[in-house]
Amino acid sequence: MPPHPLFFTHGLGSRLWDVDGHEYIDYVLGWGPLILGSSHPRIVEALRDQAGRGTTFGAGHDWEYEVAEQIVDIIPGVQRVLWSNTGSEAVQVALRLARASTGRQRFLKFSGHYHGWSDAVLLGYRSLGQLPMPESRGQSSRAADDVALVAWNDADEVRKVLTDPTQDIAAVLVEPVLCNSGVIAPEPGFLERLREVCDETSTVLIFDEVITGFRVAYGGAVERFHVQPDLVVLGKAIAGGLPLSAVAGRGDLIDQVTVGVVHAGTLNGNPLVLAAAAATLDELGRPDTYECLERRAATLVNGIAVVFDSAAFSATVHNVGAIVQVTPTSSIGLPTFSTYMGADWKFYNELIVALLRRGIFVMPGGRMYLSTEHSDEDIAATVDAFSGAVEEVVNSCKP
């Protein structure tokens, strides 16, 4: 992390403090999970209470049912919930359920989409071509055999692959908003077309909502776009910063874990993280939570856009719910995967450092997460900091 790794001592609400005593407004939010900010009193209380009553049982307990019932209520169409610890694990569970139910082997994913670090899915994340290239040294070279890679928003190509029985496709795995590469929304009708062709070909539609879940709406992308997948993968915000993930969805698919589909994990659904999840989901269910997040995101977007409008450097700024994206490019309109990949990330990386000096902590790649704890004053201070930081970097780039 340039200019050098940062180490933090504590966080509270929208703020973090580093070991040198610097205070930052936090738009990284632990790379997404801290939707209630740091150390939210409801989560702290839930953890304290549960820690004194046992952190894992290796057997059933009330939270498993209570939080599953919350999720069934929150996300449209969900009938069952399975617990695991990280998004990467839950994606594997979803793919296994899809393979078991269809008897098919391969799956379709989209360029630029990230579904965790496992060999099976870390393919075609940063490549613009049609080949599902591995992204890591040491990754199984055979993993790519199981993947058909399609460009984001190309519904015709999805249809071509799915209607070809030799492709042997069990599932379409998709970030319903391409958050990991530019926060690129689905084109109008695209998710509907995925649903349609999955129905026609009896293919399992999996929404990877590890980022969008509880963030682009209380019921995530399923609620926001009104398209019903067969399975939803949840992670990050679900437990407000504790390690919890889930696969939720159709009862007949998930019930396969009682008939030969292995779903294992020592700490799956432990009471500590589920107590945090119950508190998080309860807090997020307060009236106006999402209207408020949406309003603050829009204010931030407009403020940063004005900064770039009057600077000698172009960027597009937009949001989908509580996810803001700044893309340093002169291309007109919202980013596509290729304009995102071709953007001036050298400029943005310098901007990150200039923002750090002004007390603003943002992620690489242009994404900024908002929490319920970011105030109007935080947003105003952030826009001011962008103004100074952009000017500094533009001036430092002048010959």
Ligand X SMILES: Cc1ncc(COP(=O)(O)O)c(C=O)c1O
Scanning 206-214, 292-300, 324-332, 387-395 for contacts with ligand X by CB under 6 A, the matching segment is: 206-214
Locate all alpha helices (DSSP H) within 147-189, ordered by sequence: 155-162
Q: What is the Cα–Cα distance from 79 to 38, expressed in whole angstroms?
A: 31
Q: Which residues contact 259 (CB under 8 A, 6 or more apart)?
A: none
210 contacts ligand X (rule: CB under 6 A): yes
208 labelled catalytic: yes
CB of 214 to ligand X, least distance (A): 13
Find out whether 328 and 313 touch, Cβ atoms under 8 Å: yes
Q: Residue 28: is it exposed, middle or buried by C-beta count within 10 angstroms (0-12/13-18/19+)?
A: middle
Nearest approach in angstroms of CB 339 to ligand X is: 20
181 interacts with ligand X by CB under 6 A: no
CA-CA-CA-CA torsion sign (62, 39, 297, 206): negative
Sheet holding 106-110, edge to edge: 80-84, 245-249, 231-234, 204-209, 169-174, 106-110, 147-150
Question: What is residue 31's DSSP assignment?
Answer: G
Q: Rounded to the nearest whole angstrom, what is the least distance from the CB of residue 322 to ligand X in the complex?
A: 15
Interior/surface letters 332-350, b for 16+ CB within 10 angstroms, e for the rest: eebbbbbbbbebbbebbeb
Q: Are 37 and 13 in contact (CB under 8 A)?
A: yes
Say which of 146, 208, 230, 378 is annotated catalytic. Answer: 208
Tokens of 155: 């519904």
> Three-class SS of residue 74?
helix
Interface stretch with ligand X, choices 85-93, 308-316, 321-329, 346-354 (CB under 6 A): 85-93
Q: Are 133 and 124 in contact (CB under 8 A)?
A: yes
CB nearer to ligand X: pick between 13 and 134: 134
CB-closest chain residue to ligand X: 87
Q: Which stretch binds ligand X (CB under 6 A): 50-58, 80-88, 164-172, 372-380?
A: 80-88
186 binds ligand X, rule: CB under 6 A: no
Q: CB of 216 within 8 A of CB of 207?
A: no
Specify the residue, 89 or 378, whose C-beta has the smaller distance to ligand X: 89
Least separation, in Å, of the C-beta of 378 and ligand X? 24
Q: Tell me, residue by residue from 160 to 179, as one string, x for binding to ligand X by CB under 6 A and - for no binding.
A: ---------------x----
CB of 234 to ligand X, least distance (A): 10
- Of 84-92, 136-144, 318-326, 341-349, the window that binds ligand X (rule: CB under 6 A) is 84-92
C-beta closer to ligand X: residue 210 or 389: 210
> What stretches of the chain adopt beta strand conformation (E)?
8-12, 15-18, 23-26, 80-84, 106-110, 147-150, 169-174, 204-209, 231-234, 245-249, 316-320, 323-327, 360-361, 367-369
Closest distance to ligand X from the beta carbon of 147 (Å): 15
Structural tokens at position 240: 């407000």
Q: Is 62 a catalytic residue?
A: no
Give yes or no for a contact between 73 and 79, defined as CB atoms under 8 angstroms apart: no
Binder to ligand X among 11, 37, 134, 235 (CB under 6 A)? 235
Kindly tell me which of 183 and 389 has the beta carbon lying closer to ligand X.
183
340 catalytically annotated = no
When binding is defined by CB under 6 A, the residue of 38, 70, 84, 88 that contacts ligand X is 88
With CB under 6 A, what is the number of residues at the site for ligand X?
A: 13
Residue 102 makes CB contacts below 8 A (sequence gap 6+) with 170, 171, 202, 203, 204
Q: Scanning the structure block, which residue is given the tokens 């049982």?
A: 57
Mask 95-124, x = binds ligand X (CB under 6 A)? -------------------xxx--------
Candidates 208, 230, 373, 378: give the one binding ligand X (CB under 6 A).
208
Helix axes 41-51 and 271-284, enclosed angle (nearest 10)? 150
Residues 6+ apart with CB under 8 A from 314: 308, 328, 329, 330
Q: Min. distance of Cβ 60 from ligand X in angstroms?
A: 24
Of 80 and 115, nearer to ligand X (C-beta) is 115
Q: Which stretch binds ligand X (CB under 6 A): 96-104, 195-203, 204-212, 286-294?
A: 204-212
The nearest distance, CB 117 to ligand X, in angstroms, is 6
Active-site entry in 26, 27, 109, 114: 114
Which of the following is catalytic: 24, 236, 340, 348? 236
Q: Provide the binding-site residues for ligand X, judged by CB under 6 A.
A: 86-88, 91, 114-116, 175, 180, 208, 210-211, 235
Active site residues: 114, 208, 236
